[in-house]
């Protein structure tokens, strides 16, 4: 069998029990065929990017080693979203959702198609993707952007932090 490809997936939820949604989705990723869940970040809390009249999000990043093609993997991710109650036709484009799974990278593949752009076009702006990603793969290089740890440092505005970090500790580090 050919060697597995490193794929990174961003998870997010701000409806219907966000922490449980993301945890269940991580278990679904771990059960995908022809794939291995190599690492997963902790759960992070983050203020909404985009419209502010929605609940805070829970975010995480998963690192898969997979033999699935990028499109087969995308199909699997959308099936997991659908099972969580997500309907692509729901509400506003940047509105609240029970589960969002974004394929961030599939190896070093760079493509721009209607259904799939790789690397994911939102990476550089999104602290809620970069901070959890930097926890598990700081040295990972993103085609066209550079290392994940550098990108995360540039985007860290203090609004994204592990759920396990208690409120009074969040700004305790000088």
Which residues belong to the active site?
A: 86, 97, 100, 102
CB 14 within 8 A of CB 55: yes
Q: Does position 50 bind ligand ROI by CB under 6 A? A: yes
Binding mask 70-99 toward ligand ROI (x if CB under 6 A, else -) reads ------------------------x-----
Using CA atoms, how far residue 151 sits from 8, 43, 54, in Å, is 15, 19, 26
Categorise residue 9: left if φ over 0, alpha if ψ from -120 to 50, beta otherwise: beta
Which among 65, 61, 79 is positioned nearest to 123, based on CA atoms? 61
DSSP 62-73: EEEEE-S-HHHH
Residue whose CB is nearest to ligand ROI in the complex, by number: 12
Beta carbon of residue 3, minimum distance to ligand ROI (angstroms, whole number):
31
Single out the segment in contact with ligand ROI by CB under 6 A; choices: 44-52, 67-75, 104-112, 134-142. Answer: 44-52
Q: Does position 18 bind ligand ROI by CB under 6 A? A: no
Q: Does position 21 bind ligand ROI by CB under 6 A? A: no
Burial of 150 (0-12, 13-18, 19+ CB in 10 A): middle
Q: Does position 46 bind ligand ROI by CB under 6 A? A: yes
Which residues bind to ligand ROI, rule: CB under 6 A? 12, 46-50, 57, 59, 94, 100, 128
């Amino acid at each position: 069998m050919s060697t597995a490809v490193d794929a990174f997936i961003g998870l997010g939820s701000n409806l219907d029990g966000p922490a449980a949604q993301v945890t269940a989705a991580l278990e679904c990723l771990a059960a995908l065929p022809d794939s291995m869940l190599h690492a997963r970040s902790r759960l992070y809390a983050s203020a909404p990017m985009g419209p502010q009249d929605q609940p805070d999000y829970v975010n995480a990043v998963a690192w898969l080693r997979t033999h699935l093609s990028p499109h087969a993997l995308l199909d699997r991710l959308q099936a997991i979203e659908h099972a969580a109650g997500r309907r692509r036709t729901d509400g506003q484009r940047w509105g609240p959702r029970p589960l969002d799974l974004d394929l961030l990278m599939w190896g070093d593949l760079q493509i721009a198609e209607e259904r799939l752009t790789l690397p994911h076009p939102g990476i550089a702006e999104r602290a809620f993707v970069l901070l959890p990603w930097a926890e598990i793969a700081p040295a990972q290089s993103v085609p066209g952007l550079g290392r994940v740890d550098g990108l995360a440092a540039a985007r860290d505005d203090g609004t994204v932090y592990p759920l396990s970090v208690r409120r009074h500790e969040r700004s305790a580090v000088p």
